[in-house]
Chain A
Amino acid sequence: MKAVLSIILKRLMVGCLTLFVVTIIIFGAIEMLPGDIATEVLGQAATEESLNAFREKYDLNRSLPERYLSWLGGAVTGDFGISLANQRPISELIGQRAANTFFLAGYAAAIAVPIAVVSGMLAALYNGSVFDRMLSSSTLAAISFPEFFIAYILILIFSVALGWFPSLANVDPGMGLGERLYLTFLPAMTLTLIVLAYMMRMTRAAILNLLALPYIEMAHLKGMKRWRVIAVHALPNALAPIINVIALNLAYLIVGVVLVEVVFVYPGLGQILVDAVSNRDVTVVQAACLIFAATYILLNLMADILSIIANPRLLHPR
């Protein structure tokens, strides 16, 4: 038990350190912007007074480490400063949108994870069957198709031809859950299709690896029933790789959501990030990048820790 704790603690420390370095990169990258932010935003013709007022407002007069610390302190408490483009507090701009993004990613995960795990297992059990071969060709499609291709095909079929679902997912905060789920069905389906094949393929590989091990063969030779071999002998050891697969794909979902949001004009964090990049609204880009990167790192960290905990070999003393 002690060994597990020390491994987890070590992994946690590495994760926190990574997060810390990433905040430095996100903050520091913007500092490398050629020239002065104040002149960049206000233009060359700006007077000295307005430049000074701008610097005062965005806190540009203090030294770099001081500003980094106050930015980091604010970010931890949810205060990301003010947008350069429209002078509004960023937390106000992105609060609801971040919630929308997590809702969409969670929705997609809720559909994709059960399907992927069950069908991945089935594909491994019936290795080489028609079902298994269908699965590997669908993986090829999922790797090859750009996100927007899948999205537009779904729109063409389900929205334009059949008229079942709307092609724009314009949700607003006052909506009920049912309506929200209905409006965001097509974006969630798109995300599901993107990650589903990967997850199935990786689950299948994890289980196939296990089934090839000698102790599974031994169990079969003892005359044990097939389902008992899978459930009692294979599954505990397969749990760790499967958890890993799920968490990695959730991390991928969080990023894939950016494109899908733009296609469906969904009011999420990805959309605001893309707009901010094209307007060069530096402070908003920082905030959105930080949220995306932190979620990604935390999901990866969680994957590692869960798979350490789920590893039966580490839980029992030798």
Chain B
Amino acid sequence: MTDLFHSLRDAPVSAWIGIVIVGIYTILAIGAPVLAPYPEAASIGSQYQPWAAPHYLGTDALGRDVMSRLIYGARNTVGIALLTTALAFAMGATLGLLAATLGGWFDAVSARVVDVLMAIPALIFALLILTITGTSVLALVLVIAVLDSTRVYRLSRAVAQGILTMDYIEVARMRGEGLWWLIRKEVLPNAAAPMIAEFGLRFCFVFLFISALSFLGLGIQPPTADWGGMVRESAKLIGFANFATWQTATFGLAPLLPAGAIALLTIGVNLIVDWVLHLSSGLRE
């Protein structure tokens, strides 16, 4: 715990920026019902109001408060992305560690399956599957989790294979330790640092992927507030932006708000990931 405190104190400015960004998003996501001034999907005024009190970021085509929808979007989009990443990690890491530890036919078969899955671009594969299942949040989470777990599988397998050649593994095996004990007590603790960094990267990827699908109208469906979907709904407004006055300029910025929210969170996570990677590689030297 003191280690964590020390490294936090010595963290570079970029890491601190990342931590602050992610922290703010977390607070918004958890406290959405309290923090958002208006409900998520209710129409509360006339449509397309400019950026002025009480609607600080205006209203959308259905008269919904944009700021409230952005805040709820943090909860929905980030929540679903986090769930998907966790699922992808559970599947990918379990299979990858098992493949490396067991070896033999299990390793060979699972590696081939992953090769084939990775031969098709993820977006195309997801579109193919979503045609069959239809667009629902459950289908979205499952499809992206499976596709993304292939990358986690590759990394955890490679990392575990590196660890398994170490002498202490040999010793544990000769002691007669079982498979689960090996994975839990020897492999996992040593694989933790690269896996944590990978979790951040995979989260960014999943988050951008879900936003992209929602933007295409195939992801999270309205009226649920979601950033990708909000960009899609307000996309046409950009053509009407006019920099003559503040009022008209803000009108055209509507699609950039949710898109910017996506970009900012991804930057924040990436900054933290860079720091974690640096930290773990620095400790090993």
A interface list, Cβ under 8 A from B: 18, 21-22, 25-26, 29-30, 32-33, 140-141, 143-149, 152-153, 155-156, 159-161, 167, 251, 254-255, 258-259, 262-263, 273-274, 276-278, 280, 282, 285, 289, 292-293, 296-297, 300
Contact = CB atoms under 8 A, between A and B. Distances in A.
B215 interface: yes
Interface string B194-232: 000000000010001001100111100000000010010
B256 A152 contact: yes
A160 B241 contact: yes
Interface in B44-101: none
Given A32-B132, A300-B119, 5 more contacts: A144-B270, A152-B235, A159-B239, A255-B122, A293-B120
Contact of B215 (A148, A160, A251): A148
Contacts of B204: 143-144
Contact of B218 (A274, A289, A293): A274
A273 B130 CA distance: 12
For chain B, what secondary structure do more than half of its interface residues adopt (helix, strand, loop), or is it mixed? helix
Q: For the complex of A and B, list the 6 residue pairs with the smallest distance between their C-beta atoms, beginning with the closest.
A: A144-B266, A149-B259, A255-B121, A144-B267, A145-B263, A292-B124
Contacts of B125: 289
Nearest to B267: A144
Interface residues of B, number: 45
Contacts of A18: 115-116, 119
A147 to B, nearest CB: 7
Contacts of B123: 255, 258
11 contacts: A22-B116, A29-B129, A140-B270, A140-B271, A144-B266, A144-B270, A146-B215, A149-B260, A152-B231, A152-B256, A289-B125
Given A161-B243, A259-B215, A285-B128, A296 B120 contact: yes
Given A152-B259, A277-B131, A289 B124 contact: yes
B147 interface: no
Nearest to A271: B216
Contacts of B33: none
B124 A147 contact: no
Contact of A156 (B128, B134, B256, B266): B256
A145 B204 CA distance: 10
Nearest to B211: A146
B262 interface: yes
Nearest to B207: A146
Given A255-B121, A280-B134, A289-B127, A147 B116 contact: no
Most buried by B among A144, A258, A289, A300: A144
Contact of A149 (B120, B132, B252, B263): B263
B114 interface: no
Nearest to A32: B132
A144 to B, nearest CB: 4
Contact of A29 (B128, B235, B255, B271): B128
B124 A146 contact: no
B256 A146 contact: no
Nearest to A297: B119
Contact of A155 (B119, B120, B238, B267): B238
Nearest to B261: A149
